[in-house]
Amino acid sequence: MPDPRALDVLVIVDVQNDFLPGGALAVPHGHDVIAPINRLARHFAHVVITQDWHPSNHISFATSHPGRTAFETIDVAYGSQVLWPVHCVQGTPGAALASALDVPHAQLIIRKGGDAGIDSYSAFMEADRRTPTGLAGYLRARGFARLFVSGLATDFCVAWTALDGRAAGFEVSVIEDACRAIDLDGSLARAWAEMEAAGIARIGGSDIIA
């Protein structure tokens, strides 16, 4: 019998110190994703981790735009961009994966947002919508078919990753109770509406672990 989990991947999005309480861009209750993710990860043979990984002069940082403040939206070359507090700067403790994350069998850590001039909420495609990260190629080369997405934040990097995974032809589920949201101006409801319209399943951890 083939292992029924052979085609499945758990994708753990941006569970990094800066997104946890006390971090530079803390997601409310962000630390609550760690225990469920650790539990879920034991049920997956294949796990991919993503890391937001910005240079210190990144275009998404309010500090890169004199006179602007965090959580404002501005227009940039590739469209609109929310400005954020400085977060997940390459090599800093804030960019490190949460130390309580216990997923030693993860096979790939993919870093995104490394180009100073382009943001990347999605682990598949940068915000210019033209520059791939290579994740789709990796997943296809491994023969995976189904993605189960978890992590931070539901309405930004989780949603964009799920949507681009679906657009790349994978079957995608988002594990709601293994995610937490920022919820900026209704962004959470919009993200779920877009994901549901795209055919992404909204599931709970109990749908995977009985």
Residues engaged in binding ligand VGL (CB under 6 A)? 14, 19, 52, 84, 121, 152-153, 156-157
- Residue number with CB closer to ligand VGL (9 or 188): 188
| Helix 187-197 and helix 159-167, axial crossing angle in degrees, nearest 10 | 20
Active-site residue, selected from the candidate residues 14, 18, 119, 155: 14
User: DSSP of 147-185, one letter per residue?
Assistant: EEEEEE-IIIIIHHHHHHHHHTT-EEEEEEEEEE----T
Answer yes or no whether residue 126 interacts with Zn ion by CB under 5 A. no
- Residue number with CB closer to ligand VGL (123 or 143): 123
Stretch of residues binding Zn ion (CB under 5 A), selected from 16-24, 46-54, 62-70, 179-187: 46-54
Stretch of residues binding Zn ion (CB under 5 A), selected from 44-52, 132-140, 144-152, 168-176: 44-52
- 74 torsion bin: left (phi>0), alpha (psi -120 to 50), beta (else): beta
- Residue number with CB closer to Zn ion (52 or 164): 52
Q: How far is the CB of 83 from Zn ion (least distance, A)?
A: 11
Answer yes or no whether residue 52 interacts with Zn ion by CB under 5 A. yes
Sheet holding 201-203, edge to edge: 108-112, 47-52, 8-13, 146-152, 171-180, 201-203
Query: Are the beta carbons of 200 and 159 closer than 8 angstroms?
Result: no
Q: How far is the CB of 151 from ligand VGL (least distance, A)?
A: 8
Amino acid at 196: E
User: Does the annotation mark 88 as catalytic?
Assistant: no
User: Does the annotation mark 112 as catalytic?
Assistant: yes
Q: Residue 146 belongs to what H/E stretch?
A: strand 146-152
Where do we find the tokens 């993710």? 37
Look at residue 157 and give the partner it binds from Zn ion, ligand VGL, none, a contact being a CB closer than 5 to 8 Å depending on partner kind. Answer: ligand VGL
